[in-house]
């Protein structure tokens, strides 16, 4: 079953706390993404991972880092969360075999207070 799973789905953190968002996919896709979605700004790309330990910054990487130690898992880490990082975060995966269609998770809503 083709699926991208994100955990947790909802999270409230205080400013300065660490945040870990996790993403898993069962399609053996090489490429995975983290986006954030904010009203009026659409989806903005934070990081891309082309495979294990092969990560590249997207358009808005500042304040985030990522980890990809297994092909099926891609983590987004906020080391000291800020209130302007309140958003909905989406993970996606793709491969050449899927025609480069991105498959998205259901999103993780993060509130930083």
Partner 1 sequence: QQKVQQSPESLTVSEGAMASLNCTFSDGTSNNFRWYRQHSAKGLEVLVSIFSDGEKEEGRFTAHLNRANLHVSLHIREPQPSDSAVYLCAVRRNAGAKLTFGGGTRLTVRP
Tell me which residues touch partner 1 (CB under 8 A).
4, 35, 40-43, 45, 48, 58-59, 90, 92, 96, 99-107, 109
In this structure, what token pair is assigned to residue 12? 């409230």
DSSP 84: G
What radius of gyration do the chain's Cα atoms show? 13
Question: In whole angstroms, how close is the CB of 100 to partner 1 at the nearest point?
Answer: 6
Q: Strands, DSSP E only, in the chain?
A: 4-7, 10-13, 19-25, 31-38, 42-51, 54-57, 65-70, 73-78, 87-94, 103-104, 108-112
Question: In whole angstroms, how close is the CB of 34 to partner 1 at the nearest point?
Answer: 13
3-state SS class at 85: helix
**By C-beta, is 53 or 100 nearer to partner 1?**
100
Question: In whole angstroms, how close is the CB of 69 to partner 1 at the nearest point?
Answer: 23
**By C-beta, is 41 or 111 nearer to partner 1?**
41
**By C-beta, is 11 or 102 nearer to partner 1?**
102
**By C-beta, is 85 or 93 nearer to partner 1?**
93
């Amino acid at each position: 079953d083709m699926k991208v799973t994100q955990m947790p789905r909802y999270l409230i953190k205080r400013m300065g706390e660490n945040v870990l968002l996790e993403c898993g996919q069962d399609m053996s896709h090489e490429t995975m993404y983290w986006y954030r979605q904010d009203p009026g700004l659409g989806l903005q790309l934070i990081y891309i991972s082309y495979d294990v330990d092969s990560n590249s910054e997207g358009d808005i990487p500042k304040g985030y880092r990522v980890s990809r130690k297994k092909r099926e898992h891609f983590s987004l880490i906020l080391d000291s969360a800020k209130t302007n990082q309140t958003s909905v975060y989406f993970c996606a995966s793709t491969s050449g075999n899927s025609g480069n269609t991105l498959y998205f998770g259901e999103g993780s809503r993060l509130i930083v207070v």
